């Protein structure tokens, strides 16, 4: 937790916050803060700055806030990721958020098992909790725009072309021999397939929608590793 | 497991392997292979190719091997990573391996807790298991050269300069304003600090040894995310 992320309901006044629960425990046990210390804080959806510890005990953390800085800019990036299995989902959502993607679309694909969509980790509160962890990690306050696209074709045929307008669309796909471009027009849309890859009909749909294939080389990376490598490469 | 990684003791003949345990279970339950199927296989430290399933049941998987391809080339990259806490260590070792780093040095630092070195995850068998998972993920057969450097100064002062000779040394360090170079002389040595960063004396030692600082921007990334982003950027 590199940033104490404040929710609107934590505010007792515009310059005063009171926290309990997980964040209180973390500040006590991991940060080992004391009264008078300054912590890096940010208000969800708002500004960042510092919070001076006024009170810290079993019951609550109280902070005097100075929120005078904007959050870091988002990357002009839409990630379109085939829904990973639940075990991987949390890491992918948190990593995409910490890397600064402006928008995250979780998309169905042939090799996405139906059960993944029914996982408790797909509940809005669970997804939001992972995004908050990503913001706390990266020191950011702005949630990415999260979209669940449970139907491949309507999303790819009707919505994806509009997302691509004026920018660059890329699809990670092994074996095409196309290296990742090193410079590109923003905004960027980057599609990452499921374990086992897109099936051929999906590849053809994504190409028709305007994505260019991009070959990451002979190594097959885990989704969150590939994601970070691509963002590092492109931005 | 994108590659069935064979150990020398699995070979019953140069072209015949017999597997039990974890890999048998994975091929049955995840790959759902059948007799006659071809699997991607590789011999640890050796060639890759395919293995035709001759037998697959409760007891064993037997494969007829055709090993006719080299593994993918390693990146000319030495990663020098401040030893992460045990919970993070496994992911970092597996990710560094799957990304193709030729050498991985786990280094002590001021903010590395002593207890991390004593973790069961630091046992050679545990570290090796994580590297094998990274190879299976990436379809590679060559283990990286793993080095444990329990003393910061002797490593940085006596060994690091030689690693840097003729190549490029970089140190991820926030706040320096130095963007990551996009092209560089190989071999590359890349140092990544602990949670909470290098202390100033460590920064000075690393600079004296010949590393250049590199600023990843305002976002603070988890070690394995930063690692993947840097490798994606530099290679």
* Contact status of B19 with chain A (Cβ, < 8 Å): no
Q: What is the mean pLDDT of residues A54-75?
A: 97
Check if B179 contacts A (Cβ < 8 Å). Answer: no
Nearest CA in chain B to A101: B219
Taking only the tens place, the pLDDT of each residue in B128-172 is 999 999 999 999 999 999 999 999 999 999 999 999 988 999 998
Q: Do A219 and B98 touch (CB under 8 A)?
A: yes
Q: Residue A233: list chain B partners with CB under 8 A.
A: 232-233
Predicted confidence band of residue B127 (pLDDT cuts 50, 70, 90)? very high
pLDDT band at residue A27 using 50, 70 and 90 as cut-offs: very high
Domains and CATH numbers, chain A: 4-69 (2.40.240.20), 75-234 (3.40.1280.10)
Other C-beta atoms closer than 10 Å to the C-beta of A86 total: 17
Which chain B residues are closer than 8 Å to A138 by Cβ?
A: 219-221
Q: Does the distance separating the beta carbons of B72 and A218 come in below 8 Å?
A: yes
Does the pLDDT at position A176 exceed 80?
no
Regarding predicted confidence, which is higher, B183 or A119? A119
Please tell me which residue of chain A has the smallest CA distance to B181.
A233
A217 touches chain B (CB under 8 A): yes
3-class state of residue A134 by DSSP: helix
Query: What 3-state DSSP class applies to B81?
Result: strand
CB spacing of A229 vs B224 below 8 angstroms? no
Q: Place A185 in a pLDDT band, splitting at 50, 70 and 90.
A: confident
What integer pLDDT is reported at residue A173 of this predicted model? 82
Q: Which residues of B touch A99 (CB under 8 A)?
A: 219, 221, 225, 229
Res A182: pLDDT: 63
Q: Model confidence over B161-181: pLDDT tens digits?
A: 999 988 999 998 877 777 777
Interchain CB distance below 8 Å, A139 and B218: yes
| pLDDT band at B184; cut points 50, 70, 90 | confident
Q: Do A36 and A53 contact (CB within 8 A), yes or no?
A: yes
Asked if the C-beta of A189 comes within 8 angstroms of chain B's C-beta atoms, the answer is: no
Strand spans (E) along chain A: 4-6, 11-13, 16-19, 38-43, 48-56, 61-69, 75-82, 101-107, 145-149, 168-172, 188-192, 212-214
The residue-averaged pLDDT of A2-30 equals 95
Answer yes or no: is pLDDT of A216 > 90. no
B-chain residue closest to A234, CA distance: B233
A190 pLDDT higher than 80: yes
Res B23 pLDDT > 80: yes
Backbone angles phi, psi at B221, to 5 degrees: -105, 155
Residue range B86-120, pLDDT digits in tens? 999 999 999 999 999 999 999 999 999 999 999 99
Q: What is the pTM of this model?
A: 0.93
Q: What is the ipTM of this complex?
A: 0.92
Q: Is the pLDDT of residue B185 over 90?
A: no
Residue A144 to chain B, least CA–CA distance (Å): 14
Q: What is the mean pLDDT of residues A110-120?
A: 96
Asked if pLDDT for residue B192 goes beyond 70, the answer is yes
- Would you say residue B22 has pLDDT above 80? yes
* Mean pLDDT, chain A, whole residue set: 94
pLDDT score at B216: 82
Mean pLDDT lowest for which of A132-136, A180-184, A223-227? A180-184
Are A226 and B99 in contact by the 8 Å Cβ rule? The answer is no
The 10 Å Cβ neighbour count of residue B49 is 16
Using the predicted structure, report yes or no on whether residue A174 has a pLDDT greater than 80: no
Q: Give the per-residue pLDDT at B208.
A: 96
Distance CA A231, CA B227 (A): 12
The CA-atom distances, in angstroms, between A40 and each of A69, A94, B111, B133, B177 are 11, 19, 19, 37, 20
């Amino acid at each position: 937790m590199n940033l104490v992320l404040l929710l609107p309901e934590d505010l007792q006044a515009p310059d005063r916050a009171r926290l309990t629960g997980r964040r209180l425990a973390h500040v006590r046990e991991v940060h080992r803060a004391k009264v008078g210390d300054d912590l890096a804080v940010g208000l969800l959806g708002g500004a960042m700055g510092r919070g001076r510890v006024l009170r810290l005990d079993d019951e609550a953390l109280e902070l005097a806030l100075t929120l005078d800085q904007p959050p870091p800019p988002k990357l002009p990036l839409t990630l379109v990721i085939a829904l990973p299995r639940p075990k991987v989902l949390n890491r992918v959502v948190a990593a995409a958020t910490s890397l600064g993607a402006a928008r995250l679309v979780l998309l169905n694909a042939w090799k996405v098992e139906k059960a993944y969509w029914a996982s408790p980790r797909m509940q809005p509160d669970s997804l939001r909790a992972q995004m908050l962890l990503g913001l706390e990690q990266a020191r950011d306050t702005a949630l990415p725009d999260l979209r669940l696209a449970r139907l491949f074709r309507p999303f790819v045929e009707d919505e994806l072309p509009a997302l691509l307008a004026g920018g660059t669309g890329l699809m990670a796909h092994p074996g095409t021999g196309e290296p990742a471009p090193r410079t590109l027009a923003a905004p960027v849309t980057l599609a990452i397939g499921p374990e086992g890859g897109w099936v051929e009909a999906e590849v053809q749909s994504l190409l028709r929608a305007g994505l260019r294939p991009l070959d990451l080389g002979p190594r097959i990376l885990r989704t969150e590793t590939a994601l970070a490598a691509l963002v590092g490469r492109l931005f």
